[in-house]
Amino acid sequence: MEKGKLILGSDEAGRGSIIGPLVMAAAVMKESELYKLKELGVKDSKLLLKPKREKLFEEIQKITKFNIIKIQPDEIDNAVDGNNGLNLNWLEAEKTIELINYFNPDAAYIDCPSPNIEKYKNYLLAGLKNKKIELVVKHKCDVNFPICSAASILAKVTRDKEIKLIEEKYGNVGPGYTSNPITQKFLKENWEKHPEIFRKSWITWKNHHAEKQQKSLKEF
């Protein structure tokens, strides 16, 4: 990549899922080359059909530098229910800091998961090596900035591949969100058999666990 102002975009996929990893991705390009993303038709992954996402996934990797982080259920549970002072937002922030520090760009566009944008931005700045970075933290960055759209595609396709691997081993889990009937059914039948693939800090998993405990007490 030639010298010039480097722009990073970051986004995630699978944040609300009860099954499988939360995937975070960063894409980096020289500012003068960002037009290439528009030429490819890059947009927020949720606005694209699966075949288009998968095609763009390959094309984006050819024209950007990128990094992808997979955050497994146990690490999420440790953040949400652990005693380390983290929650899901701060865990995501820590991984974003890791991605930005890895590339050390001149500017970074971050899709903010928190309702308190200023607080989230300050958390990021505290962990960044480059304090002079141009840091843009907003909601819907994945819709409004192509470099974040590119990151959203990298994250979403990677997440889909992870779910596919889980399905090959455990059966049809659906998309992994509890709003989905297939996922609901799989959770009900397998929450105890395959705890390693579930986020046990999610209330839906805890409800199944609590229900079993209540039944055990009644039987006792």
Residue pLDDT, tens place only, 88-121: 999 999 999 999 999 999 999 999 999 999 999 9
Output the pLDDT for position 218: 53
The H or E element spanning position 13 is strand 6-13
Residue ranges making up the domain that contains 164: 6-170
Collapsing DSSP to helix, strand or coil, 90 comes out as: helix
Q: For residue 29, is it within any domain?
A: yes
d(CA 22, CA 16): 8
d(CA 164, CA 35): 32
Q: For residue 195, is it within any domain?
A: no
- pLDDT (average), residues 179-203: 94
Q: For residue 1, is it within any domain?
A: no
- DSSP structure class, residue 176: S
Q: For residue 201, is it within any domain?
A: no
- pLDDT (average), residues 72-78: 95
CATH number at residue 122: 3.30.420.10
Number of domains in the chain: 1
Nearest to 116 by CA among 85, 89, 135, 91: 89
Residue pLDDT, tens place only, 141-151: 999 999 999 99
- pLDDT (average), residues 197-209: 92
Q: For residue 60, is it within any domain?
A: yes
Burial annotation 28-66 (CB, 10 A radius, 16+ → b, else e):
bbbeeebebbeebebbbbeebeeeebeebbebbeebbbb
For the beta carbon of residue 170, count every other beta carbon within 10 angstroms: 15
By percentage, how much of the chain surpasses pLDDT 70?
Answer: 95
Q: For residue 69, is it within any domain?
A: yes
d(CA 111, CA 12): 8
Q: Is the pLDDT at 187 greater than 50, yes or no?
A: yes
Q: Is the pLDDT at 65 greater than 50, yes or no?
A: yes
Residue 220: pLDDT band (50, 70, 90) is: very low
Q: For residue 199, is it within any domain?
A: no
Q: For residue 203, is it within any domain?
A: no
What are 20's two structure tokens?
A: 């499988």
